[in-house]
A and B are shown apart, each in its own frame.
Chain A
């Protein structure tokens, strides 16, 4: 993962509209998208499918409580 992610306080949220058949397809697509961006800890915070596709908000956690936070510039950064 790029060093720039050290600056993320906790998580990156991606909000978009995906053209898809149903919620399941939308979830699969957004998870794949975040995986391709290099995230490991991925959650779908919100999804609502209607008509052409899904309004979706997905989250990739960079720093969780108890981690070593990159933004602190610790020697053992995470």
Chain B
């Protein structure tokens, strides 16, 4: 059936502003309606004459300026009433100074305030109910690894990585650790519903834990600065999340499909506060959230159980805490539980997988050179963790945060590529995570004296020259360029996001605007600052790009050559773990110190 075509008069009852009406006119014209747009600032009497002359059935009035609104518009409606037209035409009012309530009060049929979609006005003209284009805002979980082949362009590097990873797998064969064993037990514990079996497994588990955790299982005592959440608190949380979910209308951050996914890291210490931060970030458009555990958790053998809150940064990993958080997350938002360091790496992946996480985070080089875990222990644990990540179908990023300690990018990248190749051999789906940062290396060498663009771009260029793999700069982008000043901090995040988008990467992790403030916890409102700033830069750039100078290509070339040199040395050395201890992937002079946590805990599988 052919829809009715309307005759619409659009009149700006305003000295200058008629942009909104022009946009609506265009939409109405496209749909075949007959439109008449009057010039701005005609007196109400003249507008009335035009209505008569043109025999329109709909009138759209706009008014942007706030002063005298009620008086002018009231007069206009009085004139319409007096002319006898009121029952034969529909009249709507729109503009910056308008609210639906004001419009109704003044006698208009509808009112359109700031933020109105053009389609709303079109629906009014056509006499149909406005249905927001919710598809525009519905997030779909993306698998950012899907479109990558993981094929190497640089065959020399591929061969070196093959050699190194074969050495690692051969070395690790028949080795195990308390962390590996606990992960196996945890998997069994999660599978069983038999209380006797569970008690037996838990008994075995606690014997593999540090005293502080063992004490929990034996006497119910918790780590200092933690407490159990009460039943009342848990009930209140359920109600809170249900209420929030009911009124949630998440925004989207991306302006074009090519804009990267945006992740935030939470880890307030308390699962409740985490959930509160997650929900506000979801509302303001985040695509993913990253679980951040406390630093002591990484140095402690074993996990607690139950709903536990913590007074400091980092939220305690327990099966219950993770499940509670997962339950609160919007189903279209990606959830990453990081396992890149520490003595519970494989078990973290098991818990993440069983809790429904989409992604995890694993890197031996960072975890043992910048994260405090013994290289031998973390190598054994990470192999197990990678296998679990593959089993639970969780891609994982391979972070290079050792750069922040002073390790040069080419060494950090060598470590990242080794772990990524190891992952590929073990059936995993690695995501490369170069840092977009003002690192000690670039401070010393002056690579960012002119701009923050070229060296970061060089990192992306070199990875693309080596392998076809997903890239997720982090974490967070712009690390060490943030200050405690809110505007500067938001802008630097946004600009790095713009660079990331220009370079066509798959995802980014962003900081809050108070990330550099060390005096207290991150405030939720500060997260909105950078989410909005990131959205704005995506809108600003669209398909346009930030163009690096030729330096970026030059540095990419140098990085590639240096990566080859490092990989050659590691391959010739013959033992990856020993190479980590000896500084081939980051030396003490550069600020990398092989971790001590878990030293001498690796044993032969037969000893268990």
Q: A13-B525, A72-B272 are in contact. Are A45 and B236 (CB under 8 A)?
A: no
Q: Tell whether, in the assembled complex, residue A43 and residue B520 are in contact, meaning their CB atoms are under 8 Å apart.
A: yes
Tell yes or no: B553 within 8 A of A by CB: no
- Complex Cα distance A66/B525, Å? 19
A66 and B273 alpha carbons, distance in the complex (Å): 8
Question: Are B311 and A65 closer than 8 Å at their CB atoms?
Answer: yes
The 9 nearest A-B residue pairs measured at CB? A65-B269, A66-B311, A65-B270, A72-B236, A43-B519, A46-B484, A11-B523, A9-B524, A65-B268
Judge whether B441 is part of the interface by a CB distance below 8 angstroms: no
B442 within 8 A of A: no
Residue-wise interface mask of A (50-78) relative to B, using a CB-CB cutoff of 8 A (1 in contact, 0 not):
00000001010101111011011111100
Q: How far is the CA of A44 from the CA of B309 in the complex (A)?
A: 26
The range of chain A's interface size is: 20 to 34
Indicate if the CB atoms of B227 and A66 lie closer than 8 Å: yes
- Interface assignment of A48: CB less than 8 Å from any CB of chain B: yes
B309→A66 contact, CB < 8 A: yes
Q: A73, B485: Cβ atoms under 8 Å?
A: no
Q: How many A-B residue pairs have CB under 8 A?
A: 82
Contacts of B312 in A (CB 8 A): 65
**Tally of B interface residues using CB under 8 Å:** 33
The residue from B226, B230, B520 contacting A59, defined by CB atoms under 8 A apart: B520
With A10-B521, A65-B310 known to touch, is A45 a contact of B270 (CB < 8 Å)? Answer: no
Find out whether the CB atom of A59 lies under 8 angstroms from the CB atom of B523: yes
Say whether B486 contacts A57, CB under 8 Å: yes
Question: Could you tell me which A residues sit within 8 Å of B by CB distance?
Answer: 9-11, 13, 15, 41, 43-46, 48, 57, 59, 61, 63-66, 68-69, 71-76
User: Quick check: B517 and A46 within 8 Å, CB to CB?
Assistant: yes
Q: A45, A57, A59, A69 — which one has the most chain B CB atoms within 10 A of its CB?
A: A45
Instruction: Determine the chain B residues whose CB is within 8 A of the CB of A41 once the complex forms.
Output: 520
Across the interface, which residues of B come within 8 angstroms of A76, CB to CB?
A: 230, 232
Least Cβ–Cβ distance between B309 and chain A, in angstroms: 5
- Closest chain B residue to A15, Cβ basis: B486
Bound: A44/B514 CA distance, A:
12
Nearest-Cβ distance from residue A2 to partner chain B, whole angstroms? 19
Within 8 A of A (CB), among B504-522: 514, 517, 519-521
B240 at the A interface (CB under 8 A) = yes
Residues of A with C-beta under 8 A to B272: 69, 72
Q: Which B residues lie at the A interface, using CB under 8 A?
A: 225-227, 230, 232-233, 236-237, 239-240, 268-270, 272-273, 276, 280, 309-312, 483-486, 514, 517, 519-521, 523-525
Q: Is the CB of B233 within 8 A of A72?
A: yes
Please report the C-alpha to C-alpha distance between residue A69 and residue B234 in the assembled complex, in whole angstroms: 12
Q: Is the CB of A74 within 8 A of B486?
A: no
Residues of A close to B237: CB separation below 8 A: 72
Q: Which residues of A contact B520 (CB under 8 A)?
A: 11, 41, 43, 59, 61, 64
In the complex, which residue of chain B has the Cβ closest to the Cβ of A46? B484
Contact A61–B521 (Cβ < 8 Å): yes
- B486: chain A residues at CB < 8 Å are 15, 45-46, 57
Q: Which residues of A contact B232 (CB under 8 A)?
A: 74-76
In angstroms, Cα B524 to Cα A9, docked, is 7
Within the complex, the shortest CB–CB distance from B372 to chain A, in Å, comes to 23
With CB as the reference atom, state the residue of chain A lying closest to B489.
A46
Q: Which of B233, B268, B276, B484 contacts A45 (CB 8 A)?
A: B484
Q: What is the bound-complex CA distance between A21 and B521, given in angstroms?
A: 30
> 11 extra interchain contacts, Cβ-Cβ under 8 A, other than A13-B525, A66-B227, A73-B239?
A10-B521, A10-B523, A15-B486, A41-B520, A46-B517, A48-B485, A57-B485, A65-B269, A66-B311, A69-B276, A74-B236
Asked if residues B309 and A65 are in contact (CB atoms below 8 Å), the reply is: yes
Task: Check B280–A9 contact: CB distance below 8 A.
Answer: yes
Which residue of chain A is the closest to B276 with respect to CB atoms?
A9
